Structure 1
Amino acid sequence: MPIYFIFLFYLTRKVRLRLEKIQRDFLWGGGALVQKPHLVRWNLVCLEKKKGGLGVRNLALMNSALLCKWNWRYVNEREALWRRVISLKYGEEEGGWHTRDVIERNGVGLWKAIRKKWWLLDGKLAYHVGNGQRVRFWKDKWCRDGPLCESFSSLFSMSMSKNAWVSEVWNPVGDGDGWTPFFARAFNDWEIDLVERLLQNIHAFRVQREEEDRVIWTTSNDGAFTVKSFYSMLESGGSSMFPRERIWKVRVPPKVALFAWEASWGKVLTLEQLQMRGFSLANKCFLCLSEAKSVDHLLLHCDKTRVL
């Protein structure tokens, strides 16, 4: 049920911490919610299994991913009734990809929280040029890996129209078509190569006057936005060398696999761990009676367990 709520509403910190406490207590204490030590940090638990976690969803990141889906739907569902209502209420930025910033002072606006997440989505969007009437020539990412204003910053500074649309730079020449960016002055000799590189970059692109401009989600193969791909993009940390296959792919009871996962992070509840948590205990291995009981000693170096 909480997923349906965080798909639409911003999850406040107080509510998120309360839900995460229920999750943590259940993971370490079981169904009875018994208070037991939480061995592994929650941010590690929430990582994907290939990164060393348990695959539990981080509620803050999940909330951001779900809210960003509404921004993606706003971009694509141009004829939907809800979109028309939102665009009439808040107005649209030039190009119509998103609304203006919501600056209501009172209350918690539903669209205000969703609109704030646009910047997370915008960095992973690219534009497919159709008629070129909604894509900025210099400032939008439609050609290669980034905006032309970043790849050719010196030429951008000389441009006569820094906010020009692609359709305004695309100019029919005779029987064919061509690009005609306008600059404020003539080029110096050392700038000719830079201009040639610009024209080579945009040479392969053409304006299709019968086709609409559209956006592409760059982190998926088909260009369509998915919450899963966006969540993976937001998730950071973990270890790419984590032995996931040796823990989760072997045929052992889940309890054994979980113990191996804890041991991989060095978080088995040994006497050493209890001392770190403030307990006053004599630390000695009960098997060999010679060394302190740590994770490495218990599983690798103890003479008794090595025989086992």
Structure 2
Amino acid sequence: MGLIKNWKPIVKRFEEKLTSWKARTLSFGGRLTLIEAVLVVAPKNKGGLGVGSLAASNKALMIKWLVRFKNEPASLWARSITAIHGDSRCHSYIPLKSSIGGVWKSIVNLGRKSQIQSINAGNSTLREMFPDLYELESDKRCFVSDRYIMNHESIDWFWGSGNPLSNANNIEEWAACLSILQNVVINRDSDVWLWKSSEKVADFAVSAVRNELDYIDTIKETKVLCWLHWIPKKVNCFLWRVVLDRIATREALMIRRFHLPSNQCILCNNTLESADHLLVSCETAKQVWLIIFQWMKLPIPSYMISVVQVLEIINSYKSQKNTKRAIYAVVAATCWNLWKMRNEIIFKQKAFSVAKLIGDIKAISFTWIKNRADLGELNWEKWRSFKI
């Protein structure tokens, strides 16, 4: 997948769905909608935007070829791989000549990192359980069918190696191995490789592997996000960026070496403007949160220092499902309107008003819930008293 031509189908699909002038006018939420329409989509409950990782998809597709190599040994391409990479000295389940570069080498190296292993006996392979027998075996690439015969309904296992069991230790290990093999049920169907995830074993599926890879290296802070459909997508994305400290505050711009006339918070003009300070710990923001919590009839926290902490607090409240969703929507509206107010002060030189900001928070959260939630009896009079 490192070649440019491999990405041409994806680029072509983008070009078919988007002209150049539309690309410049799309909002963040619009871009996300486009990506979801063109690429794979994964769950959002692990801290992402819901867009599956291309790297995970690529790895899952590469691993698929390893499974197909073992499950389709008679196919022309598998026999070609064996002819090129296999020899009498190769004891690996997946043949590879390290001196030969290319796609197959990348696939096999990825498979080794994915810990693709041999047949298991319990939690270990027979090779791991009986290393001396494995060392003594003359044909380490033999098939299971080469080591037993069917005697009516029973299976007789035998030591078929060209090297005899020469000492008492080997004989004792073989007896222990036989005791395990006696419980094995032989299926006459062709052997296939399966995919083991945790304790579940199932047929290999690219989507299952991709999802498993997407769940790795999750960001703990984003677990407080709900991705609520009552809230516009751009606001959900905004909260996600806030939690990751990825909005363009003065602190963030200075880190990116932007030259600013001041790095102080525009609301209090007293502290470095970071995301958490602007939206939560600023004295002006605290005043707004105090009024909002009183309006929602929630206990006022003794201290709040970050957006993650605010979301953890509201997630800990015990209430009805719709009430909890409404609270989350109000918190999102509060962060969103504080950010909008900050931008209007900077770029439009508007005066700051706590009363106007509170009114905007109540109005916009009511509009979201009225139009997006299935709460037919909700009206403005009930909302003003926060009665869901």
Aligned residue in 2 for 1:12: 3
1:24-173 to 2 correspondence within 5 Å?
Answer: 31-32=23-24, 49-76=44-71, 83-84=75-76, 86-87=77-78, 89-91=80-82, 113=103, 116-121=106-111, 123=114, 140-159=118-137, 161-171=139-149
Contact preservation (8 Å) 1:124, 1:217: no
Aligned residue in 2 for 1:284: 264
- The range that moved more, 273-282 or 46-55, is 46-55
1:70-122 Cα deviation digits (max 9, x unpaired): 4444544577xxx33x3565555599x878769889xxxxxx62574145447
Q: Does 1:295 align with 2:275?
A: yes
1:221-262 Cα deviation digits (max 9, x unpaired): 562221122223444753363444633136212122111111
CA distance in 2, matches of 1:242, 1:124: 30
Among 230, 236, 244, which residue is 1:257 paired with? 236
CA distance in 2, matches of 1:259, 1:52: 13
CA distance in 2, matches of 1:77, 1:161: 22
CA distance in 2, matches of 1:236, 1:175: 46
1:197–1:254: structure 2 CA closer, same or farther, 3 Å change rule? farther
CA distance in 2, matches of 1:273, 1:206: 63
1:28-67 Cα deviation digits (max 9, x unpaired): xx83179x9xxxxxxxxx9963332223343344233334
Percent identity of paired positions between Structure 1 and Structure 2: 22
1:155-195 Cα deviation digits (max 9, x unpaired): 42344554443223325579743433466322349x95x66
What SS does the corresponding residue of 2:167 show, helix, strand or coil? coil
The structure richer in helix per residue is 2
Aligned residue in 1 for 2:196: 218
Structure 2: unaligned runs, 5 residues or longer: 29-40, 289-388
Larger RCO, structure (CA 8 Å, separation 6 or more): 1
1:239–1:67: structure 2 CA closer, same or farther, 3 Å change rule? closer
RMSD: 4.6
Deviation, 1:196, is 6.2
1:258–1:205: structure 2 CA closer, same or farther, 3 Å change rule? same
1:176–1:202: structure 2 CA closer, same or farther, 3 Å change rule? closer
1:300–1:154: structure 2 CA closer, same or farther, 3 Å change rule? farther
Letter in 1 for 2:225: R
1:223-242 to 2 correspondence within 5 Å?
Answer: 223-235=202-214, 237-239=216-218, 241-242=220-221
Quick check: which has more Rg, 1 or 2? 2
What SS does the corresponding residue of 1:31 show, helix, strand or coil? helix
Q: TM-score, length-normalised on structure 1?
A: 0.63
Structure 1: unaligned runs, 5 residues or longer: 1-9, 37-45, 106-111, 127-139
What SS does the corresponding residue of 1:66 show, helix, strand or coil? helix
What SS does the corresponding residue of 2:225 show, helix, strand or coil? helix
Letter in 1 for 2:245: G
- The range that moved more, 169-178 or 59-68, is 169-178
Contact preservation (8 Å) 2:60, 2:209: yes
CA distance in 1, matches of 2:60, 2:192: 21
1:307–1:154: structure 2 CA closer, same or farther, 3 Å change rule? farther
Contact preservation (8 Å) 1:285, 1:292: yes
